[in-house]
Structures are given as structure tokens and as C-alpha cells.
Structure 1
Amino acid sequence: MKWFRLVWCWSGGVKDRSKPKFSRLVQLAIFVSVVTVPTAGWLKSSWGERSPKLLAQESPVEEGLIESSQQSPEFELPEAGLPEAGLPESEGWTEPNATAAEKSAIQTATPSPVCPIKPISASEQIERLVTGTSLALVENWGALLAAQFSATAFPQVHGMARLSRVPVIMYHDILPEKEVFFDVTPAEFEAHLQQIQEKGLTPISMDHLVAHLSTGLPLPEKPILLSFDDGYQGHYDYVYPLLKRYGYPGVFGIYTNKVGKQFGRSSLTWAQLRQMSADPLITIAAHSLSHPPDLGELSENRMRDEIVQSKRILETELGIPINYFVYPEGKYNEQVQDWVQKAGYRAALTMNDTVDLYAGASKDLLSIERIGQGNFAAVLDQAYGGPPLPLLGSPFRFDAPVQLGKVTSNEVPLILATGGRPVTLHADSRYQVAEIVKDTNALAAVDGGFFSLEFLDSNVMVGPILSQSTGEFVPGNPKEIPRIARRPLVLINPSQVKYIPFDPQKHNTLAGLKAELPDLTDAFVAAAWLVKDSQPQPAQTFGNLFDFDAARDRAFWGIDQAGRPIVGVSGDYVDSVTLGESLSRVGLRDAVMLDSGASASLVFQGESQMSYEPRPVPHVVALVPPEGLQMRSKCE
């Protein structure tokens, strides 16, 4: 199978090469060369042909994390053979029972350079993602171009990747008779693989996950990554044969002092690891030298050895690059992460004892979250490879299906409706949101802008208002609008949305609004920016907005990194700054706060998503099908 390699050239007049935007490119040449590469049989859809064993996938419905039903396991250090507290922590420290070769490798190795890792280029990330696939099957070339220009700086997670839900499943020992609760039998493990097959998931490699997190390029529709810690004999006897039988990749975290030794439990040998590492399905990751309970509590020299030398020993013994690290017991601090980066790792896996998170919710590439195998079944129906990247030059996508999602970000529960075309509805009085959208084709809606509280049945808004539902422009009260200057003015037309600072002198006439956005259909003034240009907004940007720093129910709407509109509410009390941080982490490009507190209300397919009855409102932001707003006759 063939794929197309993109070679980028631009020259002449590029003043700022750190920001290669189209406006700065005088020439852009794309050379297409055809390269033949082997195709992995387990890839599907835009990734190529998949094994006949794997069934069709279904579209995901909900987003969200999976609350842990059990805590992630803690590794028990063997009683003998590993260092104890109080042992010398010199640069030449080695595990007491290490072989001569291991001691030599540890003691003679030159410390890693302390300069930061060189970020992987976007083109390299894309090549990693599509190696073994056909780019002709990727949705569009524009998505590849977008990824080329929008790849994030290491170690950040791309905003588009935050919209995906990739479970990284964590296993430990696989053996016929369980010894602790988190052990898994071979029969149970094969049952997991069968469920993956039956539910149409696509197991991916660590390389594919990291490329996705870096560039935002979508993965197969329902991806999953399988990881195995500590290098037990069962990984060779049971896991490896089953992965080969099903054609599934996996990543194995190895701590080197254990290899070939009996430290309470079984261990892989170097010969077995060499055989496994030669298989394209298998990725070997470093898991330290001795699996200390907390790398952050070690001296810097010992910390460095655990991180740097484990990489070098594995590379020497296996003859392959080791690009990934697995934190023992998932514990790390900034100093540990610094050494992981200095050592040259491209990413690191962690774990969380209290909550299970998908990979896209990770802080960064040096702390990729995993989910314990005890919650395996709960995540299968939630897996989602992320939305397609928008075409370059088309930052909005109003043709996506409208879906309801629930996700917890930064400890803030969020209820979101995503997709469709955004419109506003301005009612003749105040009603529940469900009543306002009842006679329309709106699939989801959230309460909208601020309204005057002078009369209980008034539909008068604070600031100018234009809505598709009425087609009528109503200017704001000249005495009120100076107080809302600089707040986000929301402008909508059939192809785009603009959020600009409201200027009372320019924006209180229909002509003034249309001068900002031709073909205008909707306009209103929102409360404040929560996210602007992908950045959460700090406290000082909220100015004199009442109670912005108080914990309240909040409503919002915006555009995600895929260009799709999103309306939503917080599932609990939250202040505005924290909400903005949470929305940024789940991939919103821009988001503004709507009327909140008792007014906060979200409706999906006619049903309220709130746990209380909200205050009636006169205005909503709604998501309708791509064909646009349709009003039903009262007689229907």
C-alpha cells in the first residue's frame, strides 16, 4: 500500500518563521512522492484495511471520565534484592544483585545532557501517525495541512486531541491463579480482547497515541491502547501470544533491575524481551531501574539514574530506541518530569488513584493518564478518536451531528451539546428553555444573554439583540449599554461566528453590526470571555462583572477546536476562571459565559439536563441541524 509524503517548502518574505501562517507565505510548494511501506492489518478506516476479525464501529454518544470503582493498584516492592531507604545514593549506585553487565552499564554511562528535548516536528508526528496506512483514505488533505501548521509545542496536548476519548488500559501481572485483586487470568485477558473485537474498537500503538496528542489528527473511530507494567513472565507466556493472535499492539513498561531475576514474582528474561521488542506490535518503555515507590522522594543523582540509565540499559540490551517512560506507581513531580525530558523521552505514562481519565484529558505528554483494567468494560462504549480536523481556511464546521456529552475537566463536571448550526431564539416573554425551542427543530439549547429584571414577563435584553426566530433587531437601552462596553459581542451568520468587544458607539445599530459581519443573522452581548483564542481568561479580564469569582451554576457557549459549536452548563457550582480553565482543557477554542446562576439551563432533544427547575428566560442559544432553523406551525 502506498502513501503520500508531503514535503514543505516556503521562501521569500517570511519574516517570522516561528508563525508560518498563510499571510506570511510567499510560496508554498507541495511535492508528492510515492513511498511503499508495509501495512498493518489491524488498521481501519482512514488507517487502511483492518483484520476481518474486527467488527464495525458505532459512533460515540457521551463524553466523560469513568469514576473509579476501585483504586489503582499499588506496586509492592519485593522484600529482597532492591534498594532500601538509607542505602548510599551516589552517582554510581546500582541494584545490589545486578549482573556485571548491568553494573557496568550503570556505572560507566555518561550522564544525559541537561538541555531540553528537541520537539518532534509536525511532519514527523504526522508520518508516525500514518505510517502503514493510505493517506488517500484520510478525510481530506486540508486536515493534514492543518495538522502540519497547528502541531503544538512539546509537551503540550493539542486542543483537538482533548476532544477525543482514548482509554489507555493499565494491566499488571497476568497469571493462572490471582494473588492480588488487580491480577488478571489469561482467560480474563482474552475475554477483554474479544470484547474489543466485538465492540469494534481499534487497538493503537503508543506512537499513534503520541502523534494524535501532538497534532490533533483523529485516530480510528473507537481507539484503545493496552499497557502492561513491570515485566512479568506472564507477559511473555500469555499476553504476547494473545496480542499476536489478535493482531493488537501493546506497550510494556520494564524496570531493568528485575529482568531475569526472581524478586518475589516472575520476571521476563532479556532473551524474551529481545524477541518481543523485535515485533512491530510491541513497544518497550522504561519503568525505572528499581521501581522506587516515589521517584520524587529520591536524591537528584538517584532520580537521574532511575530515569536516564534505565533507558540506556534497555537501548543497549535490545538495540532499539526507548522513547517512552512509565512512572512507578504513577508518581512524579516537576523535577522528575524535567529528568524525563532531559533523558530524551517523547512521552510518559502515569496513573491516578482517585479518578480515571482519558488520554486527551492528560496535563501534557509527560503525564499521559491511564485507566485501571478494573474499569475496562465501562470505557469501551465511550472510546472516541476525535473529530476530523477542519480544512485550512474553514475554521467553522456547522455540519456535524448534534451530540450530548458529559465530561469532568479540572474536577469540574460539564454537560455539553456539540455540533449542528448555532442560532438564537428571542421569545415574546420569559419561558423555560424547553418551551422556547418546542416549536422549532432545535436539538439542543442553553439560556442566552442577560435580560432586564424590571418586569417578570419582559423579554427586554441588556444590549442590542438580533435573532433568526424573529428577524427583528432591537437596540440596547442607551443608558445601559455603556456599562457593558468591552463585553463579548456575539455575531453569527450562516458560515461563521465572531466574538468581538462590544463598542456602544458602533454596535447599537443594525448597520453597525452588519459592518462587522456581513450576512448577519443573530447578535447579542454575552457576559464575558471564558476562553479566547484557546486560552482560559484570567480574573482581571472579567472587570466589574458581578459574582464572576463566586461558585455558581454556569452556562456557556462557544466553538471547539474542530470548529463545531458547543452549548453547555456546569454540573456543579464553579467560578468563572476555573470554568474557563476547564473548557480550555476539553478543547474549546472560544467560549463566552451566558446568563448563569438560577437561569443556567440546558435542554437536549426537548429534555432538561438540569437537576432543578431554572428561572424562565426570554433568550436562548440553540443548535439546529445543518439545513438551518425551522419554525413549526402552531397548528401542527
Structure 2
Amino acid sequence: VGGDAMGGQVGHHPSAELPISLLYLQQMRFAAALLVAVSLAGCASQPSVPPAVNAVALYTPPPPLPPPPYDEISIKSTDRRIPVIMYHDVIAKRTARSQWFDCSRDEFEAQLAFFQERGINPISIGDLYEHLTLGKEVPESSVVLTFDDNYQGFYDNALPLLRKYGYPSAMFVHTGFIGDKKGDHPKMDWKELKELHKEGLVTIGSHTISHPDDLSKLPFEVQEKELKESKELLEEKLGGPIEFLAYPNGKYDKTTADLARILGYKMSFTIANGLAEESPGILEVNRYVHTRMEKAWEDRDKAIKNGVTYRYEAPITVGPITYESEKVEGCDLRLIRGGMPTTFISDARQGVSDLVKATGSQAGINGTFFAMAAIKSTDNRLVGPSKTPEMAEVLPDMETTRWPKLRNRPLVMWGPYGAAIYPYQPATMVQDRAYREGMLDMTDCFLGGAWLVHQGMARTREQILATGSSDSMDYRRRAFFGFDMDGRPICGATYNSVTSEQFAVSLAEKGVSEAVLLDSGFSTSLVLGEKILASGHSSPDNPSRPIPHAILLKGEVDKASEELAKKDEIKAGEVVAEDAPPKRRRRRRRN
């Protein structure tokens, strides 16, 4: 037995100085004595059989491997709106022979000065990729500058200005024309491209070999050759990876995009107007032609003004379920706070009261919008993506015709410990992992109709209408779900008919931090236990339209709240008499 194991230092153990033979004898005597002691102990007690060992129970599996880096536009990037600008040749002066896509040196410098004056930050194409796929933080006012076709004018006229301002950019090169100095628009040669690559201010990307008019019209083999060989040649000559591609004339199809991914391109660009975060995918990133610079900034400023970059991420605070009612800003509010939220999707349609009872919940409210509004319909398809705890993955909304209307609506999600609300991007939120990028342990999600309150501030009429439906300003009984300033879930409805703008103002007054609009009007239904506290007055026998989706709350109900709810409880027969929908007068035609 080593000295450390016996409790002393080897160098100071008494046996350390004994001859080897004596040390060996001493160790053997110790071992024999130990064996005798063990034997005697065994004789003093009954022989025992070792208990069975559960190998599975003892085995601790290694932690799961982290998922590969996300290679699509991430939900984490939606807090920015970045225009990507596309230039071609930058010429010394505009002449009668100039092309429409030419940009003069003076025009280009004026645009760079505009960026500087407004505090706009040009970022590299690599930073854009990391922002889009990983949510890397970039300045709020960012722009990406790209150039197509490898023009000599870039080197002679644009590059000195980019160096002067310290602005990064990207150059997309069609390799079949490198070094072609003929005509009014000569091209850079390998020496100049190597200089750009080495300096690092300009990122080199591929623009195919021959600049086909329309890649999608070419056979598969030809498309592959154009994308593959241009990439390989640039990598060979420049000594570095070529990871970005611009489709000539912005024309491509699914085959082209799939080929780009297979061949190792990380990001590709089109010439479709639109902000980068709202692109159809990482291999279809939007770009504005430089002549549409004004529109690019109008789109960007409008997005910021309308609040489509809002984001909410916070822990959930679970507490007793409480009920309150109060008239605020003309809205007869009925609110339920606390508990732990969960969602439920019925196979057909049911009343919220039935769902509360069937799931053992303590409270509930009607959920999000659904496709078929007819009261007698049993269709349970929802508008937007959805997930309940019973579902293994998110069910995406694949009705592409309504995607433009749903873009930037509030996507609500939560898990055991936290909640989040993100602007919804339907084209890039098709797979379950797209949602897991926002919250790995997400259990529930649905799409709200509009964002009503953010950070305790009521959104304006214009902001609500920017993503909500046109009827959100109609007078209806309104319903919402959200979180209060303490992170507690909160939901509620109005007992009277109001606009979404009025509703938002009243909720902000009541200390709601985040609120999204739920299906309203005939679907409105707020329930605590067996008590109906708000309804949509669908029919005397059915106080609210049966719905396929509900948000339910589980937890202990505050006793005082139960008593208050008894006073506010409404009956099915009372609803129509108290708040029947106003009759519309038929207008006479004027001749």
C-alpha cells in the first residue's frame, strides 16, 4: 500500500528506509493479517448474497451532442431589419453610354456619406450570415453592400471610398470573365482579386462561370457545373473558402438552391426587394438594387416604426390564480392572472368550459384564430403554427397563400420555465427546429392575431393594423393572452364591444407587460372553474362559438377571486339579451 493511501508522505514513512526484502516481508504480513480479520468477520455473521445490480439504473448516459450549427434564418434574428444593397459597376462619371445599373463615383460617395450621417453601419457579409443563422448581435441600423460582376470600376472608383470610410462589402465574381479588359465595362484580374481577398475588407463570392440569363432554365448538370467549378476555381486561386453566391439576374429555382447547399454555399442572394430577415430562406436572401435605396430605407424605417422587430423573452412566474374585473378606458375588463398555462387543440370544436373540465384545469380562454369561422363547422385547422404538450413537434402553417398576411404577427411560445414572443416569419419557420432555436424546451406555441401591448406600452392603431387583420378595429368583444410585469400569465376579455386599440390602452393601464390578440367576437369565452365570465353571444343556448383551440390555466385558485367570480358569472340565456350584436341599417342606393 502506498504511503499516500496510508495517510502519510512517502518520503517520511518509517518503512521507506528498510531494505527491499524486509519491506516486502512487512507488506506480506500485513496482507495476511487483513485476510484473517476478514475471514473471522465472515464467520461471525450469516453469509449474504450481494443484491442484484440494475446496470441500466447505474449507467448515466452521456449528455446529448449539441445540434449542428443552425443553417437557416433563425428566429433569433428577427429583432433587426437589414437591407442588402446590390451594385454593379461604379463608374467615374455618368455618360450617354452608361447603363441604368451603373453608379457614378459621386453618387456612390453620397450614399456612403448618407450612411455615416444617419448612423447606419455597413456590416460584412459574414456578420450578416452569423446574424441571420445564429442571432449574432449587430448594430440596430445595419446595411450590407454587395457588388456583382467583378467590374474594374469597383477597384478603381468604389474601393478607395470603401477604404476611406472603413466599410466592408462583398464582390460576386463570374469566373469566365476574370481579366477581360475589353469594352466599356472591363473586369478585374486575378492580381486585383487576390489583393482584395488578402486585405479582407471585401469578401469574394461566386456569381457562376458564364453568368447565365436564367439558371433555372438550364439542365441539372449545367447548373451544377456553373456553381461548382466557379467556386472551386476561386478557392484554388485565392486560397480560401468561397461560401457565398449571388444568382445571376436573381433567377433560380429549388434545384439551384438545393445544389448551392450541397456544394457548400452557406448563403445565396436574389434580387427580390425585401429586408434580409424576411427572406424566404438563407439561400434566397433578398436584395435591393442600389437605384431602390430610398425604398429600402422606407421599408426598414416602416418596419421599425410598426414594431415588427419587437421581442419578448422572460421567465414565467407561477402563482395563485386570481380574478379581477374593472372598467378601464371604456373597456369592461375581466382578467385572470397566475397559474401555469397550457394549450389544447380539440379534434373538432368544443366550448372552453368543456375543455377546462375535461383537462382538470382551473381556468381558460378561447385561443387563436381558426380557418373555418362557421359556428356549426367542426374543422379544427388553426391559422398559424401550433403546438401543445401532447404534440411531438410544431405543426406549421403550410397555407402559403396566407403567409404574407401572417408575416410579423406575434408568435407566442413557452416552456416549463420561460416564455417568449417573436415576429413570425412563415417561410423560414416550417421545421420544428426553427422554433427550438428560440426555446429548446418549448412545450406550447400559437400565433396571435396582433401584438397589443409591448413592455407595458399600448401599441398604436397603425402598429396593430400593420400585422393584424383589417377588422381588428371593428367593435367586438375582445380576448387576449400575455404576461404581466411580474412574468405571470394573464388572459382576459371584455364584456362589452371595443376596438383592439381601446383594448390595448386598457390592458396597459392594468399593468399588462405583453398582450397578443386572440380570436374575438363570437369566439370570446373566459372561464374560471364552471363560471363563464365573458362570452361571444353566439346563441341563447351557446354563449360562445365552439372553438378548436384554447389556452388553459392550472393552479390553485384564490378564494377571494372565486367569490368575485360568482358575482360576475353570466348565464347562456342572459348573454344575448344583455349585449346583442348591433343591427346594421341597410343603406339606400343613391341614383
Normalised-by-shorter TM-score class: 0.5 to 0.7
One-letter amino acid of the structure 2 residue matched with residue 284 of structure 1? I
Which residue matches 1:405?
Answer: 306
- Residues 622 and 404 (structure 1), Cα distance of their counterparts in 2 relative to 1, 3 Å cut: farther
Residue 362 of structure 1 pairs with residue 231 of structure 2:
no
Correspondence list, 1:490-505, <5 A? 502=355, 504-505=357-358
**8 Å contact 1:174–1:239 — kept in the other structure?**
yes
In structure 2, which of residues 194, 199, 208 is the aligned counterpart of residue 288 of structure 1?
A: 208
Residue 467 of structure 1 pairs with residue 336 of structure 2:
yes
* Distance (Å, rounded) in 1 between the aligned partners of 2:198 and 2:241: 12
After superposition, what is the alpha-carbon deviation per residue over 1:349-406, rounded to whole angstroms, capped at 9, x for unaligned? 2222xxx22222223322222122123244447769x9xxxxxxxxxxxxxxxx8636
One-letter amino acid of the structure 1 residue matched with residue 446 of structure 2? V
Correspondence list, 1:164-563, <5 A? 164-175=80-91, 176-177=93-94, 179-261=98-180, 262=182, 265-352=185-272, 356-380=273-297, 405=306, 419=312, 435-436=330-331, 467-468=336-337, 502=355, 504-509=357-362, 523-527=364-368, 530-532=384-386, 535-537=394-396, 558-559=411-412
Shift of 1:632: 7.5
Which residue matches 2:477?
Answer: 617
**8 Å contact 1:569–1:601 — kept in the other structure?**
no
Using structure 1 for the length normalisation, give the TM-score: 0.50
**8 Å contact 2:125–2:203 — kept in the other structure?**
yes
Instruction: Give the paired residue count.
Output: 385
Structure 1: state its 5+ residue gaps: 1-11, 21-148, 387-402, 408-415, 438-458, 460-464, 473-480, 490-500, 511-522, 541-548, 571-576
Q: Which structure shows the bigger proportion of residues in helix conformation?
A: 2
One-letter amino acid of the structure 1 residue matched with residue 283 of structure 2? L
Which residue matches 2:37?
Answer: none
One-letter amino acid of the structure 1 residue matched with residue 336 of structure 2? S
Which residue matches 2:47?
Answer: none
- Residues 532 and 259 (structure 1), Cα distance of their counterparts in 2 relative to 1, 3 Å cut: same
After superposition, what is the alpha-carbon deviation per residue over 1:118-137, rounded to whole angstroms, capped at 9, x for unaligned? xxxxxxxxxxxxxxxxxxxx
- Residues 591 and 554 (structure 1), Cα distance of their counterparts in 2 relative to 1, 3 Å cut: farther
One-letter amino acid of the structure 1 residue matched with residue 107 of structure 2? E
- Residues 303 and 425 (structure 1), Cα distance of their counterparts in 2 relative to 1, 3 Å cut: farther
After superposition, what is the alpha-carbon deviation per residue over 1:439-461, rounded to whole angstroms, capped at 9, x for unaligned? xxxxxxxxxxxxxxxxxxxx8xx
* Distance (Å, rounded) in 2 between the aligned partners of 1:255 and 1:524: 58
Shift of 1:249: 0.8
* Distance (Å, rounded) in 2 between the aligned partners of 1:361 and 1:551: 10
- Residues 13 and 362 (structure 1), Cα distance of their counterparts in 2 relative to 1, 3 Å cut: farther
What's the secondary structure of 2:240's corresponding residue? coil
* Distance (Å, rounded) in 2 between the aligned partners of 1:579 and 1:615: 34
Which residue matches 2:44?
Answer: none
What's the secondary structure of 2:199's corresponding residue? coil
Q: Decide which structure has the larger Cα Rg and report it.
A: 2
* Distance (Å, rounded) in 2 between the aligned partners of 1:227 and 1:200: 19
One-letter amino acid of the structure 2 residue matched with residue 228 of structure 1? F
* Distance (Å, rounded) in 1 between the aligned partners of 2:403 and 2:138: 39
* Distance (Å, rounded) in 1 between the aligned partners of 2:289 and 2:99: 14
What's the secondary structure of 2:331's corresponding residue? helix
Using structure 2 for the length normalisation, give the TM-score: 0.53
What's the secondary structure of 1:524's corresponding residue? strand
* Distance (Å, rounded) in 1 between the aligned partners of 2:221 and 2:330: 66
Identity %: 24
* Distance (Å, rounded) in 2 between the aligned partners of 1:314 and 1:418: 40
After superposition, what is the alpha-carbon deviation per residue over 1:521-546, rounded to whole angstroms, capped at 9, x for unaligned? xx523146632368453589xxxxxx
**8 Å contact 1:426–1:618 — kept in the other structure?**
no
What's the secondary structure of 1:190's corresponding residue? helix
- Higher mean Cα deviation, 249-258 or 302-311? 302-311
**8 Å contact 1:426–1:620 — kept in the other structure?**
no
Correspondence list, 1:89-128, <5 A? none
- Residues 537 and 184 (structure 1), Cα distance of their counterparts in 2 relative to 1, 3 Å cut: same
* Distance (Å, rounded) in 1 between the aligned partners of 2:422 and 2:261: 38
Shift of 1:503: 5.1
**8 Å contact 2:412–2:447 — kept in the other structure?**
no
Shift of 1:234: 0.9
* Distance (Å, rounded) in 1 between the aligned partners of 2:305 and 2:446: 19
* Distance (Å, rounded) in 1 between the aligned partners of 2:445 and 2:129: 27
One-letter amino acid of the structure 2 residue matched with residue 525 of structure 1? N
**8 Å contact 1:227–1:250 — kept in the other structure?**
yes
- Residues 212 and 272 (structure 1), Cα distance of their counterparts in 2 relative to 1, 3 Å cut: same
**8 Å contact 2:89–2:154 — kept in the other structure?**
yes
* CA RMSD, Structure 1 to Structure 2 (Å): 5.1
- Residues 340 and 185 (structure 1), Cα distance of their counterparts in 2 relative to 1, 3 Å cut: same
Structure 2: state its 5+ residue gaps: 1-58, 340-345, 370-381, 388-392, 489-506, 512-591
In structure 2, which of residues 433, 446, 469 is the aligned counterpart of residue 592 of structure 1?
A: 446
What's the secondary structure of 1:357's corresponding residue? coil
Which residue matches 2:528?
Answer: none
Shift of 1:292: 0.6
After superposition, what is the alpha-carbon deviation per residue over 1:245-303, rounded to whole angstroms, capped at 9, x for unaligned? 11111100011121221256221122221221211111111111110101122233322
RCO comparison, higher one (Cα < 8 Å, 6+):
1
* Distance (Å, rounded) in 1 between the aligned partners of 2:197 and 2:234: 10
After superposition, what is the alpha-carbon deviation per residue over 1:16-56, rounded to whole angstroms, capped at 9, x for unaligned? 735x4xxxxxxxxxxxxxxxxxxxxxxxxxxxxxxxxxxxx
* Distance (Å, rounded) in 2 between the aligned partners of 1:554 and 1:272: 43
* Distance (Å, rounded) in 2 between the aligned partners of 1:245 and 1:550: 43
* Distance (Å, rounded) in 2 between the aligned partners of 1:551 and 1:345: 27
Which residue matches 1:17?
Answer: 64
* Distance (Å, rounded) in 1 between the aligned partners of 2:217 and 2:82: 31
**8 Å contact 2:412–2:446 — kept in the other structure?**
no
One-letter amino acid of the structure 2 residue matched with residue 194 of structure 1? A
* Distance (Å, rounded) in 1 between the aligned partners of 2:432 and 2:398: 15
* Distance (Å, rounded) in 1 between the aligned partners of 2:179 and 2:104: 22
* Distance (Å, rounded) in 2 between the aligned partners of 1:561 and 1:177: 56
One-letter amino acid of the structure 1 residue matched with residue 106 of structure 2? A
**8 Å contact 1:558–1:588 — kept in the other structure?**
no
